[in-house]
Structure 1
Amino acid sequence: MRVVIAGGHGKIAQLAHRELAGRGDTAVGLIRNPDHAAALRAAGAHPVVADLEHVGVDELAEHLHGADAVVFAAGAGPGSGAGRKDTVDRAGAVLLADATQRADVRRYLLVSSMGVESEAPAGTDEVFATYLRAKKAAEDDLTGRDLDWTILRPGRLTDDPPTGRITLARQAPAGAVTRTDVARVLVALLYHPHSAGTILEVVGGDTPIADAVAAVDRR
């Protein structure tokens, strides 16, 4: 399987690259900064410089030709302002979906966030509220497309050691989940085509990842 991951230098993306490479798959990481190429190669991925805030749809589509799936795991990152939450977390995801369709790739996985379906509580930091709105707008755009999409909404992300056990559901209770477990869920979803057309929330839990993902089409 050939998988292109946007946001290739992020922690979840790098972990997913390692998972894919360990399976013998081809992982391609789209990165903004060429200085991050060495880290992707160390993770077993093929780096491609493509800044989602500046690249055109045709150029981006060229990088996607021949892929079996595309994953949007990019984000403006900590310390970025509200403007970049929109240009990366929303517009970047939309651009990648445009390019995915232009390249005739069917499978698209979007990493979103829990909490996007309701307004942020009063007193929420405005940048974080903008981030949630941007993620929801990206979801709304994707669900209206003729793609085999899956949306994964992780809970609060941690760098703790993975447990390999999760709760995966359309609506999961608030909670935390390790970045490694999220990456492993992403890869498992790629191998489970019946998850297409689903929106899933994931937090730490009691069910082994393989079992949780296998049960998705039975819900």
Structure 2
Amino acid sequence: MKILVAGANGHTGRLLIKCLNEDGHEPYGMVRKEEQKPGIEELGGTPVLADLERDVGYAVKEMDAVIFAAGSGSSTGPEKTTDVDRDGAINLIKATENLGIKKFVMLSSIGAGRDVQALAQGNERMQHYLQMKKEADEYLSSTELDYTIVRPGGLTHDAGTSKIKVADEVPFENIPRADVAKTMIAAIQEPNAYHKAFEMVSGDTQIEDALKKL
């Protein structure tokens, strides 16, 4: 499958490109800067220069599936969080719909499906971040795409175990980025994961089995 990864230069995005390539897919990594292209190629992906805040239709064209793994980053302000985490995601979703591509996997955040104001009370930065994720998720769930929304807990650089815990709500625990990437890839080809949103942390269930039991 030809699969576009938005946010391909990020930690999780790079793992997605690497894993997709190893699984025999054709990964295309969306990056914003020319100097980021060689890194995508080294991982086995084809770089695509595009900006989520602008026209991305040409990047999505002829893809079989789209993965949103982009984020504004911890060093930016609330305006950039709005531009990327909500508006950039919605821009990519619209392009996917317009071109008739059905499968879209969203990297969201644990808590984005809950009462954001109560959850992050007293932390305006986190409230805003989760609210933008929540609004992007809600837009995606209103479409006719075969979407999957993945809401991981705290992301670590630990080695993956391929064992996870998934539910509408799970405890605020950690999970290796590698397991998040593998879960997002598995969701593309698991029909039971379509039209679903779930939180996930490390657990005792193999990824494929966990998705079949959603």
Q: Find the counterpart in structure 2 of residue 10 from structure 1.
A: 10
The answer (yes or no) to whether the contact 1:62–1:103 under 8 Å persists in 2 is no
The answer (yes or no) to whether the contact 2:121–2:127 under 8 Å persists in 1 is no
Q: Find the counterpart in structure 1 of residue 181 from structure 2.
A: 183
Count residues in correspondence. 211
1:66-77 equivalences under 5 Å are: 66-77=62-73
**How far does residue 32 in structure 1 lie from its aligned partner after superposition?**
1.1
2:154 maps to which of 128, 153, 156: 156
**How far does residue 205 in structure 1 lie from its aligned partner after superposition?**
0.6
- The DSSP-based 3-state class of the residue aligned with 1:4 is strand
1:68-87 equivalences under 5 Å are: 68-87=64-83
The answer (yes or no) to whether the contact 1:65–1:104 under 8 Å persists in 2 is no
Q: Find the counterpart in structure 2 of residue 137 from structure 1.
A: 135
Unaligned ranges ≥5, structure 2: none
**Cα offsets for 1:125-184 (capped at 9, x unmatched):** x22221111000101111111111111000111111112211022222221101011001
Using structure 2 for the length normalisation, give the TM-score: 0.95
Q: Find the counterpart in structure 2 of residue 41 from structure 1.
A: 41
The answer (yes or no) to whether the contact 1:19–1:184 under 8 Å persists in 2 is yes
Percentage of identical aligned residues: 34
The answer (yes or no) to whether the contact 1:20–1:26 under 8 Å persists in 2 is yes
Unaligned ranges ≥5, structure 1: none
Using structure 1 for the length normalisation, give the TM-score: 0.93
Quick one: distance in 2 between partners of 1:80 and 1:127?
Answer: 11
Deviating above 3 A after TM superposition, structure 1's stretches of 4 or more consecutive aligned residues are: none
1:185-200 equivalences under 5 Å are: 185-200=183-198
- RMSD, matched Cα: 1.2
Q: Find the counterpart in structure 1 of residue 122 from structure 2.
A: 123
